[in-house]
């Protein structure tokens, strides 16, 4: 297979992981990079040996022949950049959060559909191997039909040192982190009918909410609780582990801190350590997330080769993004929100 020619837009904090992962994928390579900050362009260009460097995205699209673009900028630039890729008929990956509003997210899906180009949201948490392992247990039928889930991310890790912008937005934990955990809930238990939410800000030094609790009714009939906190000090800091409890008609799944998976089901109880691999370029505790970046980028290359729709396509991600919007509006109104009403 001929190697796909990609370009990366946005050479900041997280893009370095994406560049490492592209280097591990032999069917694709990054041939050009773009950042409006010349210093970030220099750092990433030098680290990964990329000589084609642009500070202007329009100039890059005009000058390069590309098979895809990978957008790793922060949220406010996502819509104009995705629409620019669609106008050039270039398949596009866009980091989460997909958009500032659901209306912007819908517009990007329409723009790419009209241009006939694939669009994938870089929603990588469901690609973490422990999350995939939970999904495999559900698919095996071992615990029967799930009727309850708790998907939990509670931490006091200092995310602001690497990503200072997270302290300044009116929206914080649901938009930045809850979006991943809500996506995992959809991935494991299916699409959501209604959501009820409560939020709090415990850290007085930040602008947005740092605690969120969401109760969801899934279309399947299952109920789940998604709870997220960056104000939870524990004896052993679990960042960035997502902990999972699922109860089914024939058993239970528990993914506990330290990547310990306990399954009690039709064939008894098994306990396994399902720690993710430490890739050569990865570092703890981020290795769990870094491994998922490689997995989702591999999936993108497979999808481009086969014509399959990515698991976290733009259209799929609208259903996760609707949960984010519902959580903010439901926390404000203290009323349950119907998800179908948002997706019309
Ligand atoms: P960052 O601010 O460190 O990097 C963003 C870079 O994009 C900056 O260098 C900036 O100069 C550049 N940029 C912004 N607008 C641009 C434009 N229009 N044209 C060219 N360059 C532009 O941010 P970050 O922490 O790396 O986050 C980037 C995105 O990745 C965010 O959406 C964030 O939510 C997401 N993220 C995802 C994960 C994950 O696990 N999926 C983890 C961390 C961050
Ligand atoms: O996914 C993210 O955007 C990151 C982190 C994993 C720290 O929440 O902000």
Extents of the domains making up the chain:
4-117, 126-275+319-343
CB 174 within 8 A of CB 328: yes
Residue 140 CA to ligand 1 centre (angstroms): 38
Residue 128 has pLDDT above 80, yes or no: yes
Query: Average pLDDT of the chain?
Result: 98
- pLDDT score, position 2: 67
**pLDDT in the model for residue 189:** 99
Whether cis (ω within 30° of 0) applies to the bond prior to 193 is: no
SS3 172: coil
Nearest in space to 10 (alpha carbons), one of 64, 72, 88, 67: 72
**Percent of the chain at pLDDT exceeding 90:** 99
Average pLDDT over residues 85-99: 98
pLDDT at res. 110: 98
Q: Which residue, by CA, sits nearest to atom 1 of ligand 2? A: 177
The secondary structure of 83-113 as a DSSP string is: HHHHHTT--EEEESS--SSHHHHHHHHHHHH
Q: What is the DSSP string of 110-158?
A: HHHHHHT--EEEE--GGGSHHHHHHHHHHHHTTT-SEEEEEEEEE----
The domain 126-275+319-343 is classified under which CATH number: 3.40.50.620, 3.50.50.60, 3.30.360.10, 1.10.3720.10?
3.30.360.10
* CATH T-level assignment (fold) for domain 4-117: Rossmann fold (3.40.50)
Q: What is the mean pLDDT of residues 56-76?
A: 98
Instruction: Identify whether the C-beta of residue 251 lies closer than 8 Å to the C-beta of residue 142.
Output: yes
pLDDT level of residue 329 (50, 70, 90 thresholds): very high
Residues 190-206 pLDDT 10s? 999 999 999 999 999 99
Q: Is the pLDDT of residue 1 over 60?
A: no
Concatenate the DSSP letters of all residues of 184-246 into one string: HHHHHH--EEEEEEEEE---TTSSS--EEEEEEEETTS-EEEEEEESS---SS--TTPPEEEE
pLDDT of residue 331: 98
Residues near ligand 2 with C-beta < 6 Å? 159, 163, 176-177, 180, 240, 289
Ligand that comes closest to the CA of residue 159: 2
d(CA 281, CA 69): 23
Q: What predicted TM-score, i.e. pTM, was given to this entire model?
A: 0.98
- Contact between 82 and 111 (Cβ < 8 Å): yes
* CB-CB contact of 73 with 56 (8 Å): no
Residue 287 CA to residue 240 CA, distance in Å, equals 9
Mind listing the pLDDT tens digit for each residue in 282-297?
Answer: 999 999 999 999 999 9
Q: Are 195 and 216 in contact (CB under 8 A)?
A: yes
Q: What is the DSSP letter of 294?
A: H
Cα 196 to Cα 128, 213, 217, 325, distances in angstroms: 27, 8, 9, 11
> Which ligand has the minimum distance to the alpha carbon of residue 75?
1
The tens digit of pLDDT for each residue in 147-162 reads 999 999 999 999 999 9
Q: Which of 159, 181, 238 to mutate to test the pocket of ligand 2 (most atoms within 8 A of CB)?
A: 159
Identify the CA nearest to 72 among candidates 131, 6, 23, 129. Answer: 6
User: C-alpha 322: how far from its chain's center?
Assistant: 14
Which 8-state DSSP code applies to residue 175?
A: I
């Amino acid at each position: 297979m001929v190697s796909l020619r990609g370009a990366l837009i946005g050479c900041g904090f997280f893009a370095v992981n994406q560049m490492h992962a592209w280097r591990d994928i032999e069917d694709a390579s990054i041939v050009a990079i773009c950042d409006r900050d010349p210093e970030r362009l220099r750092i990433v260009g030098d680290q990964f040996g990329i000589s084609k460097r642009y500070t202007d995205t329009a100039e890059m699209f005009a000058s390069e022949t590309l098979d895809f673009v990978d957008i790793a900028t922060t949220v406010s630039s996502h819509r104009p950049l995705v629409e620019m890729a669609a106008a050039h008929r270039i398949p596009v990956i866009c980091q989460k959060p997909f958009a500032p509003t659901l209306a912007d997210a819908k517009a990007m899906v329409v723009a790419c559909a009209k241009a006939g180009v694939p669009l994938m949201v870089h929603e990588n948490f469901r690609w973490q191997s422990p999350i995939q392992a939970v999904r495999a247990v559900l698919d095996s039928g071992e615990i029967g039909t799930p009727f309850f889930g708790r998907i939990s991310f509670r931490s006091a890790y200092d995310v602001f040192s690497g990503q200072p912008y997270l302290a300044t937005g009116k929206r914080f934990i649901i938009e930045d982190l809850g979006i991943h955990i809500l996506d995992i809930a959809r991935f494991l238990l299916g699409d959501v009918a209604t959501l009820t939410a409560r939020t709090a800000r415990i850290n007085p030094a930040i602008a947005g909410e740092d605690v969120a609790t969401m109760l969801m009714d899934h279309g399947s009939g299952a109920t789940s609780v998604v709870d997220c906190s960056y104000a939870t000090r524990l004896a052993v800091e679990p960042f960035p582990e997502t902990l999972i409890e699922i109860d089914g008609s024939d058993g239970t799944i528990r993914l506990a801190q330290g990547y310990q998976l306990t399954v009690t089901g039709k064939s008894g109880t098994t306990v396994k350590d399902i720690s993710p691999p430490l890739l050569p370029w990865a570092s703890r505790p981020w290795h769990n997330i870094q491994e998922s970046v490689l997995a989702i980028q591999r999936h993108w290359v497979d999808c481009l080769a086969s014509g399959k729709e990515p698991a976290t396509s733009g259209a799929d991600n609208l259903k996760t993004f609707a949960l984010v919007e519902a959580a903010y509006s439901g926390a404000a109104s203290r009323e349950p929100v119907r998800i179908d009403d948002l997706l019309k």
